[in-house]
Amino acid sequence: MKKLEQFKDDIYTCVRTRCGFCTQECPTYRDGLIESFASRGKMMQAKGLLEGEIKLSQELAESVFFCAMCGWCEAKCALHNVDIFKALRETLVEAGFTMPGNDLVAKNILEKGDPLGSGRQTKLEGEVTLYLGCSYRDRPTDTERIVKVLTKLGIKPRIVEETCCANALYNTGYAKEFEKAKENFMKVYGPYINDTIITVCPSCTLTLREYYKLPKVVHASELIRELLPNIQIKKANSKVTYHDPCHLGRGERMFDQPRDIIKTLGYELVEMRLNREFSQCCGGGGGLQATATDTVKETAKRRIREAMDTGADYITTICPTCESTLFRAALACSREEKEKGTGRKIKSKDIWQLLEEALEV
């Protein structure tokens, strides 16, 4: 229990407190409805392990891994909730209690440098290094759009051979495997790690900046915000709500950059009930995509309903994971609302699409 021991103070503070402020909007708690799926329940599990009240087991793993690692609870708290969940996960993985879906992701990352195992690579000659990340590498249309937008903004992106940043391993408790993947990353991407690296995926941004400590990692939204006002664009006039990706918002505290871009494009920006630090997860984090697909769908649909409540025409975001979960959920929710005859609908478009449209002048 060494990994948990270092968080003993936080764990006992929660056990002493039980305020429950972490519970009500926790995406997995809202789906599973049992306390152990929320932060304070997991804190009790951590305490139980520390004191030998409960044992490491597969049933505990199923409960601990039922978490999006989104950090909503931590935003509501004063403790290191997500680090504690990570320590719980690492303790379980070390003892051999894992989820098959996560095992497969780990295997793919280590063997193929890609969580989905496709091994696809895109290469492009250019001047500034663009790290696409696995999600975009697997989506050539999106990659093309990103390159097109950056080029129109005056950046000549260079795409070189990539390997996975292994954020998924970090988040799902595969500590040793993460270290191996990190070594591999440094080997494959080594020649570029001291360059300015433009990132487009929030999870990659978080990993490269915070876990790998690479010196010059810039998320695309930071650059675009600076460059966009100098470019001629076709102004939009519809209403948009923005979904904060957990790793970009709570993780990197980039709340304003995407919002400023949206406003510069001419959209009326309306906020959802839960936004910025307290934004709700799309459901796609923490390994849930590999272990609890129904929960991902339901969580994304809840987010879409919140977006519908704003009266926005579009929900937009700047994360490949959020974009795909929200896109599917927007279709499903709009279909359900049509069947009910409510007239409520919303479309999902990521910020790259909004930018592409605006730059087609």
Partner 1 sequence: MQDKILEAEKRLKPILGKRVSIFEAHRMSYGRDWSPRMYGDDNIPEMVAVPRNTEECQEIVKVAYELGIPVIAFAGGTGMGGGVQAWKGGIMVDTKGMDQVIEFDEKNMSVRVGAGITIWHLNEFLAKHGMWLPHQPESKQASTVGAAIGCDNDSTFGIKYGKMLECLTSAKVVIGTGEAIEFGHRKASMTSTGYKLHHLFVGSESTLGIVTEAQLRVNYLPKTRTVMGFYVRTIEDACFACEQLMTSGIQLESLHVNDKQRLHFYTHSYRVKYNREPEVPEWAEAIMFVSVAGDQDVVDFFCTKIRDKVKDIASEVKEQEIVTGYWASKHTLQFEPFKQKWPDSQRERKFGAADVGVPIGNLEKMHDAFVNLSEKYNQKILGMTVYNECPQKISPSISFAIFVDDHDQTNMDNFYKFVKEMSLEAIKLEGTMSTYIGDGDRLGGFNQIEHGESFEYMKKLKSMFDPKNIMNPGKKFESRWIK
To 10 degrees, what angle do helices 140-152 and 220-227 make? 40
Q: Coil, strand or helix: which one is 241?
A: strand
Q: Which is nearer to partner 1, 215 or 311 (CB)?
A: 311
156 binds partner 1 (CB under 8 A): no
361 binds partner 1 (CB under 8 A): no
Q: Which is nearer to partner 1, 294 or 360 (CB)?
A: 294
> Smallest distance, Å, CB 53 to partner 1?
7
Question: For partner 1, which residue of 1, 62, 227, 337 counts as binding (CB under 8 A)?
Answer: 62
Q: Which is nearer to partner 1, 309 or 336 (CB)?
A: 309
Q: Which of 258, 232, 229 is nearest to 317 (CA)?
A: 258
Name, in order, each residue with C-beta under 8 angstroms of 64's C-beta and a sequence gap of 6 or more. Answer: 42, 45, 85, 88, 89, 92
21 binds partner 1 (CB under 8 A): yes
> Smallest distance, Å, CB 36 to partner 1?
4
How many of the other CB atoms lie within 10 Å of CB of 220?
A: 26
Name, in order, each residue with C-beta under 8 angstroms of 291's C-beta and a sequence gap of 6 or more. Answer: 65, 66, 99, 101, 102
Hey, which residues does 239 pair with through a beta bridge?
268
Query: Contact letters (x/-) for partner 1, 76-105, by CB under 8 A?
Result: xxxx--------------------------
> Smallest distance, Å, CB 213 to partner 1?
22
278 binds partner 1 (CB under 8 A): yes
CB 189 within 8 A of CB 204: no
To 10 degrees, what angle do helices 140-152 and 351-359 make? 50
Stretch that binds partner 1, among 122-130, 166-174, 229-237, 270-278 (CB under 8 A): 270-278
CB 248 within 8 A of CB 281: no
Q: Which is nearer to partner 1, 71 or 115 (CB)?
A: 71
Question: For partner 1, which residue of 4, 60, 300, 319 counts as binding (CB under 8 A)?
Answer: 60
Q: Which is nearer to partner 1, 210 or 357 (CB)?
A: 210
Backbone φ, ψ for residue 74 (5° rounding)? -70, -35
How far is 119 from 133, CA to CA, in rounded Å? 12
Q: Which is nearer to partner 1, 179 or 294 (CB)?
A: 294
How far is 278 from 182, CA to CA, in rounded Å? 30
**# residues contacting partner 1 (CB under 8 A):** 43
Q: Which is nearer to partner 1, 46 or 319 (CB)?
A: 46
Q: Which is nearer to partner 1, 60 or 228 (CB)?
A: 60
Stretch that binds partner 1, among 182-190, 256-264, 272-280, 300-308 (CB under 8 A): 272-280
Alpha helices in the chain (DSSP H): 2-5, 8-17, 27-32, 39-50, 58-64, 72-75, 81-94, 100-112, 134-137, 140-152, 167-171, 175-189, 202-206, 220-227, 256-264, 288-291, 293-309, 320-340, 351-359
Q: Which is nearer to partner 1, 12 or 192 (CB)?
A: 12
Question: For partner 1, which residue of 5, 6, 24, 338 counts as binding (CB under 8 A)?
Answer: 24
> Smallest distance, Å, CB 268 to partner 1?
20
How far is 295 from 141, CA to CA, in rounded Å? 28
Site for partner 1 in 28-57 (CB under 8 A): 32-36, 40-42, 44-45, 48, 51, 53-55, 57
Q: Which of 298, 300, 238 is nearest to 265 (CA)?
A: 238
> Smallest distance, Å, CB 293 to partner 1?
15
Which residues lie near partner 1 (CB under 8 A)?
A: 9, 12-21, 23-24, 32-36, 40-42, 44-45, 48, 51, 53-55, 57, 59-60, 62-64, 74-79, 273, 277-278
